[in-house]
Amino acid sequence: MPRSPILDVPIAEDPIRLGQFLKLAGLAEDGGHAKALLEAEEVLVNGRVETRRGAQLRAGDVVAVDDRRARPVTPG
């Protein structure tokens, strides 16, 4: 099965908290959904399960939920 393309999501500040990024990237509907995804261990950051909403993401980190992938990018 081919991997999904990675969506580049512009962020204003680097780093960004994982919970914020999940919402910004459309991987979670809201904060409660983000929390549920993390508690269910359904979020991967750079291929590893992440359960902390406050985990710091840097530009280029790849976040995956189900078959969707996104990465924060800084403008410029």
**Cα gap 49→20, rounded to integer Å:** 17
Local confidence pLDDT in tens for the 76 residues of the chain: 557 799 999 999 899 999 999 999 999 999 999 999 999 999 999 999 999 999 999 999 999 999 999 999 998 6
**Cα gap 3→13, rounded to integer Å:** 28
Q: What is the pLDDT of residue 2?
A: 57
CB 34 within 8 A of CB 28: yes
